[in-house]
Structure formats: C-alpha cells, structure tokens
Amino acid sequence: MIVELKALCKDYEQGGLPVPVLRDVNMQVEQGEYIAIMGPSGSGKTTLMNVLGYLDVPTSGVYLFDGVDNSAATDEEMAKIRNEGIGFVFQTFHLLQRQRAWENVALPLSFRGISRKDRREMAAEALERVGLLDRLDFYPAQLSGGQCQRVAIARAICTAPKLLLADEPTGALDSKSGLQIMEIFDSLHDEGATIVMITHEMGVARRAGRVMHIRDGMLTDGAFSAHTAGGDIK
C-alpha cells in the first residue's frame, strides 16, 4: 500500500474560526494503481493533493505513505520524502525559464549530490521516455505548451518516485496536446507507476483505473473505470 488515509481532516483558520476543508477522508492507493479524483471548485481536491504530496499537513487523522506515518517529520525530513518518494506534475508546468529542458528535469537530482554529468544522463533518459530527447538543450520559451508539460513529467519521473501526483495536467493544453500527455500517463501506468491525478475532465478521468469524487471535503469512490467507460480525452 503506497497511500493510506484514515479519518483525515484538514481545517484552515478564517477570522479566528476553523473552516473545515477535508472531512473524514479515507483512502487507499495500492502500488501500481491509477486513480483520478474529480470535484468542483472549492471541493478540497487541491488541498488533498497538497496533503498527499507533503506540501501541507492534516489537522487530524492518519496519513501513511509507503506504510510509514510521517506526522512527526520535520520540514527537512518532509522535503526529503518529497524529493525521494513523490513526483509532481502541475497544470502550469513550473519550469525555470532560464534553465534548459534537461536542467529543469535534473533539478530534483541536484539535491542528492549527483554529479552534473550523471544528472544530464539521467535527465536525457527521462526526456527520451516522454519523446523529447531531441529537445534536451531547448529552453521552455522554445517549446510548445505540450512539450513543456512533457518536460515537467520527465522531471517528475527522473527520480523513480513511488507516487506520481498530477494536478490538472491537461488543463492548460489544447485537445491534441492533452491527448498526447494522457498517452504518456497511460504508458507510465503500464510500466508500473502509481498515479493519483486531479482532473475536471471526464474523458481524462475515464483513462484511470479508478475514479474518486470529492465534494464539500468528503471523498467517495466513483462508479466506473477505464475498462467500462472508454478512454477518449474529450
């Protein structure tokens, strides 16, 4: 089991009063699963993603990552967990504009003391997996939106994370580019990656093996899978 949430809650303070965002969330993600989470704006899905990625901490409840409760971890220890165990793909790519494609991909590796030569080789391998080996030395401004997202995916997978988190990975792309990105996620899943993806697009969600819905901070399982509902992105 890669992820296990037990009665997890998250509150934020507003005007001195607690505002519940996540309510009694229970969730299990097994190794190799591909899960999509859908929900309207303000439902708590981004907060849930932040908690899963150790970018935020729950107010109460239990979060086990790869069987370990890291609730007492320091900021430094959580940063290490993020770097070694979790890959992130965001809607807006979050690439450094003054860094080449391979340098953006290799950024997580730089915190591990890996030599520049080895970082470039590992980044090249990741870029080859997403079909961008020929853009190794391109800057983000020289790439299309879809290519930038592929660089972001390469960055997320170059560390061989145990969990891949994707927050609306096709949200800023046209239909054709979005389809290419989803085909990459399909391929990664086929290779054994564990993926949790937030999306508002039904066609994207249908490509996952399991769909969950979040509303008013409460998470429930969906009623269809990719095997029964088709997989077109639109």
State the pLDDT at residue 233: 52
The answer to whether the Cα torsion of 124, 136, 131, 189 is positive or negative is positive
Residue 16's pLDDT is: 87
Quote the pLDDT of residue 229: 40
pLDDT for residue 234: 46
> Which residues are CB-neighbours of 90 under 8 A, at least 6 positions away?
152, 167, 168, 169
pLDDT along the chain (234 residues), means of 10: 97 91 96 95 93 95 96 93 95 96 96 92 97 97 97 96 96 93 96 96 93 95 49 48
Which pLDDT score, from 0 to 100, does residue 111 have?
A: 86
Angle (deg, nearest 10), helices 101-110 and 145-157: 20
Query: pLDDT value at position 113?
Result: 84
pLDDT at 52: 97
